[in-house]
Structure 1
């Protein structure tokens, strides 16, 4: 149980940066949905969907590769760090330059309005800076410097949020004479209303630059090392991870690219396809609470799993970790899904966004299975069979594309959510079955399946039975949530006590 407590404590530290940072960022959603119409917000949602794919290309699996090779006996970690960082430096320079040269054609391809190709330029620079910061951050995780990791992440996010508020809230209010009219001459020099949603990307760019500056000590330890022979095993291990990551991005973000392409005209009366993308993207944000737990867990778990791989009782440890991770995520799923009406009204400031709330429970459950998949994927990373991850990811991508093709014309963005859930469920089940053959772990699959089935049943009941009275409806939802927590406590408490005694 001590190793689980260690992982939990590191997850908590990483979670501070992840949760606090994401919450700060998420507080911008009411700002965006108040300042921008759904069609304008659709530009941000769509462009960041492409950014997700390019982030994978820019880092091409080198973070996990760095962890794997750094934990091998006899490895010179400083030399490994320099080799990997050299690769990313060269590749990022080439990729960023390519995007800068193709800014105008790419803007046309992405339906970005004429005169706004600078959005692409800013995004290209963001991608390059973030790629250069990836391995220094991985080094901090490897060296268990979770506090420094969290501090740098929080500083970057705080600056990003501050700049968003400055350009999107303060500057327009000053120029309208609502706040501090004496600052109008100064603000007029800094603020251009024509940039519009571009300030979202510009703020991100400045924050990414600050991140790289705060990693100066890690960057000083870098020495340029371009020797192809030692790099071959790194690339051989990494390239399946890149394809796996690309397939993962297909599953995670392709729906926001395909939705405007495959949505029939006037499917939503009086709304454009970009409006539908904006609504879906804003409601997708409500699944952030599940994503927070998954992201914090991944930061701590990846180096932890590699470090524990040589321990005799590692399979039992991995099984215990999956169990408590899944149960914690089930609580989040039930709590948010049953109270999504309140979350929606709090964060989505225009009524047009609220019509998409039906997708939130589906996306929460989908992200839960994604977290389960990340837990289960330990087997092919520890056995150096990363190509299995590629196969699973590609299978999920094919399923995602096929289901979106079939469901978007019929169900709109609800079809996107269902496709996401089906994909992540399939990936988790396939990874579990393959793992039983190659790296057996005694996961309590039946028990966890019953808990998830019960959680989904409660959520379905809460959505199916909707009292018209506001107070009765909220009491009903609160009662279902508390009932699930009580059942979880009564049934699992004895097992917690037994595990703690070990």
Structure 2
């Protein structure tokens, strides 16, 4: 129980580091979808498309080294060598990418159908973000979640503040002052969004830069090869995940008629953001459990704790799923004020459930990380990515963004089931399937009824939520009392 208490404490702080910045960034959705900021839904589609490529390249530039760092930092006696080797590796590859990307930015812009002026800003942001991967991992592995949280929150606060200044206030100031008039450029809104991101990333690196003066720059070729062998399957899995997570917007742009593609992407991306509540929870939980998995791998009977962790995840995730679905129409008014985007609300329960399945998958993935069988993670992710691509190519021409949402749910569900299947063989964990299944069936069934049969009927929706929480309390009351006492 003390181990679980430690996990919940870390998860809470990492949750602050994840939830607060994401909530601040969520305000950007309201800002960017405002008619007075970006003129059309298609403009927001452009921004969403660029950030889809961001996700893919962030994964490539990290190439699994963060997870390898956690693994070998807990495994190797000479921890300074792990820190130095991983840092040097990422510095070299990051600057190598930076130089090559600048040399071929014209070709890149043409190939991915993005303006060259955006590409230039994106390249700088990717470099700065890559250089803080190991410093942030070092904070996590040394159990300094509070510092981690403060820096993450500051990053997004700067980004949000600059977005407000550049997109809302600068235009008015330019009409009153020649100084601001020299800065302001009309029809430059998309550039301003990425300039704000660039400044926030630069400040974050500046804060983390003392890390590079504290460490020993010792590079072990032998250790690096071990880390790369461990990290490579994680890179493949990461690329596959990025395909599952964001490639739908890229495919929507390619497969839909040119005159509607960006508008469809804009609506889809805005409503997709309402699944953020599930994503925030799953991400915070993952940030807390990843170091926990490795640090408790050698304790007595760790499988028992791993099983309990998944139960708690399913309980909280089920409650979040049902709550967001019940209040979805209120949330859309708060976070997406422009009715032009509401047409895509159909996808919200589907994407919420998809991200719930992804969170369960991350919990189940402990078996291949602990046993160093990360290749299975790559295999499962590759299969999921191929399935996502196939379903998107098939469904988008028929039902547009609804096909993308369905494809995401099917892919994540099957990945979850595959991870459980192989985990039983290589690292059996005594999951309580009856209890987990009960919570999943209840929350999914009640969510479907609430959204598709009793939508905006808050009496019915809240009643369903109370019933679910009551069943959870009856089933878990002894565990709840123990946790509260501690």
8 Å CA contact retained: 2:396, 2:403: yes
8 Å CA contact retained: 2:30, 2:336: yes
The answer to whether the aligner puts 1:79 opposite 2:81 as a matched pair is yes
Alpha-carbon RMSD across the aligned residues, in angstroms, is 1.7
- Structure 1 residues 38 and 91, CA gap change in structure 2 (3 angstroms): same
- Structure 1 residues 386 and 167, CA gap change in structure 2 (3 angstroms): same
| Cα distance, 1:498 vs structure 2 | 6.6
Of 165-174 and 247-256, the range deviating more from structure 2: 165-174
Taking the aligned partners of 1:223 and 1:355, their CA distance within structure 2 comes to 55
Query: Which digits, 9 at most, give the CA deviation of each residue in 1:10-63, with x for residues without a partner?
Result: 111111121111111101111100022211111111111111111111010001
Of 211-220 and 365-374, the range deviating more from structure 2: 211-220
Q: Which residue of the other structure, out of 203, 206, 217, is the alignment partner of 2:196?
A: 203
Q: Which residue of the other structure, out of 47, 52, 56, is the alignment partner of 1:49?
A: 52
**Which residue matches 2:15?**
15
**Which residue matches 1:248?**
241
In the TM superposition, 1:39-118 aligns within 5 A as: 39-72=42-75, 74-112=76-114, 116-118=115-117
| Cα distance, 1:465 vs structure 2 | 2.5
8 Å CA contact retained: 2:392, 2:407: yes
**Which residue matches 1:26?**
26
The answer to whether the aligner puts 1:379 opposite 2:367 as a matched pair is yes
**Which residue matches 1:322?**
310
8 Å CA contact retained: 2:314, 2:439: no
The answer to whether the aligner puts 1:129 opposite 2:128 as a matched pair is yes
**Which residue matches 1:150?**
149
Q: Which residue of the other structure, out of 407, 412, 431, is the alignment partner of 1:424?
A: 412
What is the TM-score when the length of structure 1 is the normalising length? 0.93
| Cα distance, 1:226 vs structure 2 | 4.2
8 Å CA contact retained: 1:24, 1:158: yes
| Cα distance, 1:501 vs structure 2 | 8.8
8 Å CA contact retained: 1:264, 1:409: no
Taking the aligned partners of 1:125 and 1:227, their CA distance within structure 2 comes to 29
Q: Which runs of 5+ in 1 are unaligned?
A: 266-270
SS at match of 1:236: helix
Q: Which runs of 5+ in 2 are unaligned?
A: none
SS at match of 1:193: coil
The answer to whether the aligner puts 1:174 opposite 2:173 as a matched pair is yes
**Which residue matches 1:354?**
342
| Cα distance, 1:264 vs structure 2 | 5.0
The count of residues paired between Structure 1 and Structure 2 equals 483
| Cα distance, 1:295 vs structure 2 | 1.4
Q: Runs of 4 or more off by more than 4 Å in structure 1? A: 497-502
What is the TM-score when the length of structure 2 is the normalising length? 0.96
8 Å CA contact retained: 2:454, 2:461: no
